[in-house]
Chain A
């Protein structure tokens, strides 16, 4: 009855654990992983499709507020709330110019709630 467990016991004593020591080593993240967004404002044509398809309404189209940005970017650009985002990747799929992409970065936990909002402009515009 119980003898089949004996070879398994020795096997388990000698085999590696299933887990890895996470902060020091990590399992490889495959291509196509849906992580944090990478947004390129130069490619964006302000069509607003990403905001319309977002199932959680995590994307809002905003205008620049600082004078410097207002001159350069006159249309509306997506502001992404990572707290609402479910990382479905529909914004990436629908984007006609590939301006919005999901990257492999999954280190998104934070102590500061305001850092969960991604502003489209490179300077601190909008982040009050």
Chain B
């Protein structure tokens, strides 16, 4: 029964509306909205369109093959997921990672965070009807993709560049200057983002307010929790790699609305640029990978045990829990994607009582990725 017929027969304004999976602004994800006129009365997340079963696939592959697989957990920030997987294997096997490799890992993870945040800005812009922002963001993101192409050999997928033991290739000789040049470009982009846009403010201020107690109750992490007023960052609390030696700040905002989240994204890009500049200054010479792992090996047994490694991904707290029973392949891998809680509990909570036109604005202000939700 189509809506018009239903309205006539029942005299009610209530009907169901699907946001996604074919909606241009939804990604591979769907939300079932129940609307009364223009107001959303309840929202139900409907995930599963991008499920690829990484947890099971990883049980059948060697750690070095899993490093290649780990890119695809989140398409928009592959190097961050590479890093988490590599750290989990390093900790489980007790591998010493050379100093230079640690710095390269941090530089690459931060570059990946910047490009992920630029996409966030792009999709948030298109979600609020600001098409120029989307094109601008994807144009500037390509400068970082050029760097990835030069360093890892692939534009979007580094295919396990950060691997157990270190990184698979050393930085090219002129990498430092090229990275600094690209950071200048990103600086330009951040300045453009910061221009106060009255239309964007009207669309984003006071929309989708997530109070701190709700954020904590629903399990929000990362930029979402920081935009609601809690100073929390795994890089500061449990420093991994060389983050304890680097000086950076954790941006916090109190408002908790879509605009606050958007501003947190911009400030985080600035902090990431600060981290990369410091790391490039301090990076030592030496090995880029543990000599034992320079050539990929087939028969390296992982000692018995289990490990839980958490990192600050671009979207929030990302983690891997890995169990080994003494074989070459992991016995069980559990992936904690930050978007899982953001896209189900937080999104359902935020969409209640808003107007239909605000749904994309709220949806994309949360920096979510259907890929790491479904895994």
Contact = CB atoms under 8 A, between A and B. Distances in A.
Interface of A: 1-2, 4-5, 8, 18-19, 27, 29-34, 49, 52-53, 55, 86-90, 93-94, 102
A18 B68 contact: no
Contact of A32 (B169, B192, B195): B169
Contact of B153 (A2, A8, A34, A55): A34
A88 B195 contact: no
B271 interface: no
Contacts of A32: 150, 153, 169, 172
B157 interface: yes
B217 interface: no
B149 interface: yes
The 4 closest A-B pairs by CB, nearest first: A88-B159, A55-B65, A34-B153, A30-B150
Given A55-B69, A87-B154, A49 B298 contact: yes
Contacts of B169: 32
A57 to B, nearest CB: 10
B196 interface: yes
B199 to A, nearest CB: 11
Contact of A18 (B62, B139, B196, B295): B139
A32 B159 CA distance: 13
B348 interface: no
Contacts of B153: 32-34, 89, 102
Contacts of B62: 53
B198 interface: yes
A32 B153 CA distance: 5
Contact of B65 (A5, A53, A89): A53
Nearest to B192: A8
28 contacts: A1-B196, A5-B195, A8-B192, A18-B142, A29-B149, A30-B150, A30-B172, A32-B153, A32-B172, A33-B149, A33-B154, A34-B154, A53-B65, A53-B298, A55-B65, A55-B68, A55-B69, A86-B68, A86-B157, A86-B159, A87-B159, A88-B159, A88-B160, A89-B153, A89-B159, A90-B68, A90-B160, A93-B296
A53 B142 CA distance: 31
